[in-house]
C-alpha cells in the first residue's frame, strides 16, 4: 500500500508541465540535485502525452551533455533508470516492514557528469498516456517519431540546453529504437505519420 501511495504521489507531481520537485516521500530532506517532472504532448494533436523525469547535471549543466535515457522492455518505466540504474536515487535495501520505502542519494549517478531526461516511452509506459484509442497504438517507428518530436519540443522549452551535446542511450529493448532515433536526429528529419501508421 505504501508503495502504491508513493507512485500516486509521483503521478500527481507530473500533472503540471515541467514542475520542479524539491522533496520526495521516502527521501530525508530536500533533494541534493535538481529534478523536474512533466509531460510533453506529441502526435498530430498532442494526443500522446509522454512523461519525463529531468535531472540537471551536478557538474556543469551548461556544458555537460544532455542524455535521453530509454528503458527497455518495451514498456518498462523510466523510473527504473532513475532509481535502479544510472540515476541519482536508489532504494535503501532493508527488510520490508510495511512502511514507505526509503530513498537515498546515489553518489555514482551519471548525473554527476550529464543532464539526463528519463522518459516513459512508448505511450502506455509508466505515466505516459494516450488521449484516444488511436494514439494508444504504438510500434518501434511510431515510438521513434514520438521521441524525436519530444526532444525537439522539450528543447524549445529548455533553450539553455540547445547547444549541449546530445546523446541517446538506454538498456535492453531500447537498443532497437535508439539507432533509428539517432539517425533521425542526425539527419534533422522527422518520420512521417504515414510510415508510422502501417507498422
Domains of the chain: 2-197 (3.40.50.1820)
Tell me the percentage of the chain whose pLDDT exceeds 90: 76
CA–chain centroid gap for 196, Å, is: 22
Mean pLDDT of 152-180: 95
Higher-confidence position of 97 and 24: 24
- Residue 17 has a pLDDT of 61
Mean pLDDT of 117-128: 96
pLDDT tens digit sequence for 73-95: 888 999 999 999 999 999 988 77
Count CA atoms within 13 Å of residue 54 on its CB side: 24
Residue 196: pLDDT over 80:
no
Mean pLDDT of 30-35: 98
With H, G, I as helix, E, B as strand and everything else as coil, classify residue 116: strand
- Residue 94 has a pLDDT of 79
Mean pLDDT of 86-106: 89
| pLDDT classification of 97: cutoffs 50, 70, 90 | confident
Alpha helices in 82-198 (DSSP H): 133-136, 140-157, 177-187, 193-197
Residue 183: pLDDT over 60:
yes
The answer to whether the beta carbons of residues 59 and 113 sit under 8 Å apart is: yes
Q: For residue 187, how many other CB atoms are within 10 A of its CB?
A: 9
Strand pairing category for 19-21 and 89-91 = unpaired
| pLDDT classification of 192: cutoffs 50, 70, 90 | very low
Rounded Cα–Cα distance for residues 137 and 139 (Å):
7
Amino acid at each position: 500500500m505504501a508503495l502504491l501511495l508513493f507512485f500516486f504521489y509521483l503521478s500527481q507531481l507530473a500533472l503540471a508541465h515541467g514542475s520542479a520537485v524539491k522533496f520526495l516521500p521516502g527521501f530525508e530532506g530536500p533533494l541534493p540535485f535538481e529534478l523536474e517532472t512533466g509531460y510533453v504532448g506529441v502526435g498530430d494533436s498532442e494526443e500522446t502525452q509522454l512523461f519525463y523525469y529531468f535531472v540537471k547535471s551536478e557538474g556543469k549543466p551548461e556544458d555537460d551533455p544532455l542524455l535521453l535515457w530509454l528503458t527497455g522492455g518495451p514498456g518498462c518505466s523510466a523510473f527504473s533508470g532513475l532509481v535502479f540504474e544510472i540515476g541519482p536515487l536508489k532504494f535503501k535495501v532493508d527488510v520490508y516492514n510495511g512502511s514507505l520505502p526509503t530513498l537515498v542519494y546515489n553518489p555514482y549517478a551519471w548525473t554527476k557528469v550529464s543532464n539526463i531526461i528519463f522518459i516513459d516511452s512508448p505511450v502506455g509506459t509508466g505515466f505516459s498516456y494516450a488521449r484516444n484509442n488511436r494514439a494508444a497504438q504504438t510500434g518501434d517507428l511510431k515510438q521513434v517519431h514520438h521521441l524525436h518530436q519530444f526532444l525537439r519540443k522539450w528543447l524549445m522549452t529548455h533553450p539553455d540546453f540547445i547547444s549541449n551535446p546530445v546523446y541517446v542511450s538506454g538498456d535492453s529493448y531500447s537498443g532497437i529504437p535508439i539507432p533509428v532515433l539517432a539517425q533521425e536526429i542526425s539527419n534533422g528529419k522527422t518520420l512521417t505519420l504515414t510510415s508510422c501508421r502501417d507498422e
